[in-house]
Amino acid sequence: MSVVPVSEAQNKEPDDVTDLDLDDPKPVRKKGRRRSTSHLKAVPQSLEERVEIKQAAEEYARQLDKSRAMNKNELEKHSRTLMDQLNKPEKYLGFTMVMIGNFFWKQQFLSIPFNRRMLLLPHCLKHAEGCPAEYSEFGLDCERCGACSIADYKVRAEQLGYKVLVAEGSPVVLKIIVSGYIDGILGVACLNVLEKAIDKVLIAGVPSYAVPLHSGDCMNTTLDESWVWEVLDKYEPLPERPTASYIPLMRASARMFEDDF
C-alpha cells in the first residue's frame, strides 16, 4: 500500500463518488476492504496429499530458528518456499502455514504438563440434528451422548487434566492465556478460524498445535482424528523451552492492572 504525504492527501479529490457516504453531511473516504484470502484456504481432499504436506512441514521445521517466535509474514514466506519445493498450488497456503506452525511448536507444546494445556474444539463437530447440548457463556456444554467425536476428545482430555472449551473465537482464549491458567493450546478448527487466531498466537508466542477441519461448512464436518490423538495424551518434558515469549510480560501487565484497579 502506497503512503501519500499529508499535504498531498489533504488536497486529493476522491477517485469516485462510490468512495463517499452521500448520507453523511461530512463525506469521508471509506476504508478499503481487507484483501480476500478465501482462495488460499483449501484443504487437500486426499489423506495422501495432506500427509505429504504434513511430513514435509515436519522436516522443513527442523531447520528453523526457534529462539524466537515467527511472525505471520515469516510463516507465510516459509510456507510458500515449502509449497514451491513440493510443487503445490497456492490454494494450500493456509493449510501449509498451519503444518509448519505445528512443527515449529510441537516439542514445546508436548513439554507442557497436561493441566497447563487447553483443548479447543469447534461446535461444528456436533451433529446438527438431535444434539442435546446447550450453550453456556463458555461455549457448547457437551452432554457426552456419544453421537459425535467431541465427547471422545473431551472426556480423555479432562481425565488428563486439560481445560476444555467447545467454542469459536480467539478473544476468550487469549484472555485465558493472559490470566495464567494455561500455557499451551491444542486446537481443532477450520482454516477460517485458524486464520483469525494465528496473529494472537504468534504475537504472544503461545506453544500450540492445530488440526484443521476438512472444510469450513460448519455443519457435520470432518477431520483427521488420528492427528489429534498423536499429541493429546503425549508429554515429553524439555530441559528448557528455546523460544522466547511475551506471555510472562503480558501476565505481569495484567496483574499490575488488577492490583491497581
Question: Average pLDDT, whole number, for the chain?
Answer: 78
Domain count, the chain: 1
Q: Pick from 49, 99, 51: which is nearest to 79 by CA?
A: 99
Q: Is residue 33 assigned to a domain?
A: no
Q: Is residue 15 assigned to a domain?
A: no
Q: Say what the pTM is.
A: 0.75
Q: Is residue 127 assigned to a domain?
A: yes
Selected residue with higher pLDDT from 151 and 253: 151
Whole domain around residue 45: which residue ranges? 39-254
Q: What angle do CA 59, 60, 66 make, to 5 degrees?
A: 105
Q: Is residue 1 assigned to a domain?
A: no
Q: Is residue 34 assigned to a domain?
A: no
pLDDT, position 248: 59
pLDDT classification of 142: cutoffs 50, 70, 90: low
pLDDT, position 18: 43
Q: Is residue 6 assigned to a domain?
A: no
Selected residue with higher pLDDT from 1 and 172: 172
Q: Taking residues 170-188, report their average pLDDT.
A: 78
pLDDT of 219-256, one tens digit each? 667 899 999 999 999 999 987 766 766 555 555 665 66
pLDDT of 59-88, one tens digit each? 999 999 988 888 899 999 999 999 999 999
Per-residue DSSP letters for 122-155?
-GGGS-TTT---EEETTEEE----SSSSHHHHHH
Q: Is residue 14 assigned to a domain?
A: no
